Amino acid sequence: MPVASPRIEPVPQVLDAVSDSTTSSTTANDLDLIYLKGIMESPLEPVESPKEPRLSPVRDNNVELLQEILRDLDPFTQRSDTAAELARILTQPHFQSLLETHDCVASQAADSLPSSPCDFVDHESEDRNTAGLQLLPDAVRMVGIRIVAGEHLGVTFKVEGGDLVIARILHGGMIDQQGLLHVGDVIKEVNGREVGRDPRVLQEELQAARGIVVLKILPSYHEAIPPRQVFFKCHYNYDPENDNLIPCKEAGLRFQAGDILQIVNQDDMNWWQARHVEGGSTGLIPSQVLEEKRKAFVKRDVELTPAGNLCHGLGVKKKKKMMYVTTKNAEFDRHEILLYEEVAKVPPFKRKTLILIGAQGVGRRRLKAQLLLRDPELFGTTIPYTSRKAKKGERESRMYAFTSRSKMEADIKNGRFLEFGEFEGNLYGLKIDSIHEVAEAGRICILDANPQSLKVLRTSEFLPYVVFLQAPDFEVLKAMNCSAVEAGVDTKTLTVQSSHTHDHQLAWQPPGAERHALVGV
């Protein structure tokens, strides 16, 4: 293109101005002015750029042509490997994106956009920015997905703002593996049929479809954040077939108390996506919030007593309202709902403490003494502290560690005691430092502690192995007593049982029952 002549005519005027400045200016650099004058005196020649030939596209609807090819190719995919491979190539996201880009350029969609992003993007409002992007005419996409008979798609839908939107995509499912759909995408058509806001139309089309299904969607522009690895130990049984709140029973995941689950998605406040660590497909499980609400829900007592007004007040249940206080910590713990416990996979390690818990008189001290006598190099125990004075012949660090009452009260106030109590005016307690001393000596510290102490001990500081001694029921206890009287034996047999709330569970059995060894401490 020739240079416009009006831009050449003022050059002599500029040269005259430069000449005047060389003679009149006292502050300008002479060398700079000479250099500028030389540039302005150089000849200017008009340059013409050759016109490039305008290219016209053959067609601008290749996406529609692709869908026609896929529909014609679908009957042959089951019989021909070549047709199946061609269909797989044509349904790949990169190939479809290439055709969409070509159609956009061919239809000169870019020329219709504003020259500046400020014309349609409001930098002061992020919501308007996203809305403006979603309203662009070229946001519509045609996606082809392959449906395999007998395999779930792994996707759920919801109606939002009058549109049918993808609510969630199950991790590891067919849709997740193909990577063509995302959470928030709006479904407009299925195989050329509009779905509107009726999910039944979409369900009918998907159930009747075989092979490749073509979806017309409005994609969402929200990128999914990769979730962190979370593992939970379940403390209750769950069967999705018996759950009336789950969005899709087929998408539910069944588990038992004690199972370890990997949580792969927690975006939904009520339903998490999880899978068993041993393997298997991903499914929906109730979230902590939803299951707590369900288990804590109590139906209102609407049954009235048939008596008069005087007895009517006696039949009404009253709610007990109270604020949390440390003195009633045990009562609050008794009403705590334990559903999931976060765990982590770690390599094998040595335990620091062996904790024996159970009802009073169940045999904790006896088992503790037997373990200490059996392997004193492996096991050790602590010496309780007391504020009473030593008796005659009682040696220090043999049965008790003696200290003053004032010092013991100060240590209790500073939280240095795991357990403490008062008997006949004297304080007794178990000091936390004594547990560390046994662990530092390379031995496992055996504790017959109160169950309330587990809140302090179940940490990485003590690395406990918890054994629960289950008390026998009345019939078993009666049989044990009769057998012992007849045989003249007072020994008891420990039977190992599994437990989901403790690392190990032992139950007393009468003599003659099957014996198991206590191993793996």
Segments of 32-140 assigned E as strands: none
pLDDT computed for residue 237 by the predictor: 93
252 within 8 A of 495, measured Cβ to Cβ = no
| Residue 229 confidence (pLDDT) above 50 | yes
**Distance separating alpha carbons of residues 253 and 240, to the nearest angstrom:** 7
In CATH, which superfamily holds the domain spanning 226-302+324-345? SH3 Domains (2.30.30.40)
Could you tell me the residue ranges of all domains in the chain? 5-41, 62-218, 226-302+324-345, 350-378+443-521, 383-441
pLDDT digits 0-9 by tens, 262-287: 998 888 889 998 999 988 888 899 99
Tokens linked to 294: 């369900």
Does this model's pTM top 0.85? My answer is: no
DSSP string, 438-481: HHHTT-EEEE---GGGHHHHSSTTT-EEEEEEEPP-HHHHHHHH
pLDDT computed for residue 259 by the predictor: 92
Crossing angle (nearest 10°) for helices 62-73 and 81-90 = 150
DSSP code of residue 378:
T
| Residue 401 confidence (pLDDT) above 70 | yes
408 within 8 A of 429, measured Cβ to Cβ = yes
pLDDT computed for residue 306 by the predictor: 45
pLDDT computed for residue 231 by the predictor: 92
Tokens linked to 509: 């059995």
- State what percent of residues in the chain have pLDDT above 90: 10
Crossing angle (nearest 10°) for helices 93-106 and 81-90 = 60
pLDDT computed for residue 132 by the predictor: 40
Tokens linked to 427: 């304080």
Size of the chain in residues? 521
Regarding beta strands 271-276 and 283-286, do their DSSP bridges make them parallel or antiparallel, or are they unpaired?
Answer: antiparallel
* Burial environment of residue 385 by CB neighbours within 10 A (0 to 12, 13 to 18, 19 or more): buried
Regarding beta strands 230-234 and 155-160, do their DSSP bridges make them parallel or antiparallel, or are they unpaired?
Answer: unpaired
Please give the residue that has the higher pLDDT: either 120 or 437. 437
pLDDT computed for residue 311 by the predictor: 41
**Distance separating alpha carbons of residues 357 and 448, to the nearest angstrom:** 6
Long-range contacts from 67-74, C-beta under 8 angstroms, 24+ separation: 67/142, 67/144, 67/214, 70/144, 70/212, 70/214, 71/212, 71/214, 74/210, 74/211, 74/212
The most confident of 28-32, 308-312, 420-424, 491-495, by mean pLDDT: 420-424
| Residue 52 confidence (pLDDT) above 70 | no
Long-range contacts from 155-161, C-beta under 8 angstroms, 24+ separation: 155/181, 156/247, 156/248, 156/251, 157/187, 157/199, 157/202, 159/197, 159/199
pLDDT computed for residue 144 by the predictor: 78
231 within 8 A of 345, measured Cβ to Cβ = yes
pLDDT computed for residue 233 by the predictor: 92
Segments of 266-339 assigned E as strands: 271-276, 283-286
145 within 8 A of 165, measured Cβ to Cβ = no
From the candidate CATH numbers 1.10.260.40, 3.30.63.10, 3.40.50.1820, 2.40.50.100, the one assigned to the domain spanning 383-441: 3.30.63.10
Q: How close are the terminal C-alpha atoms of the chain, in Å?
A: 89
Mean pLDDT, to the nearest integer, of 138-146? 72
CA 275, distance to chain mean position in Å, is 11
Radius of gyration of the chain (CA): 40
What is the amino acid identity at position 283? G
pLDDT computed for residue 303 by the predictor: 42
Helix, strand or coil, per DSSP, at residue 271: strand
From the candidate CATH numbers 1.10.10.10, 2.30.42.10, 3.40.50.180, 3.90.1570.10, the one assigned to the domain spanning 62-218: 2.30.42.10
Tokens linked to 120: 């349609």
pLDDT tier for residue 501 given thresholds of 50, 70 and 90: very low
**Distance separating alpha carbons of residues 107 and 168, to the nearest angstrom:** 34
Q: What is the fold of 350-378+443-521? A: Rossmann fold (3.40.50)
The most confident of 30-34, 160-164, 253-257, by mean pLDDT: 253-257
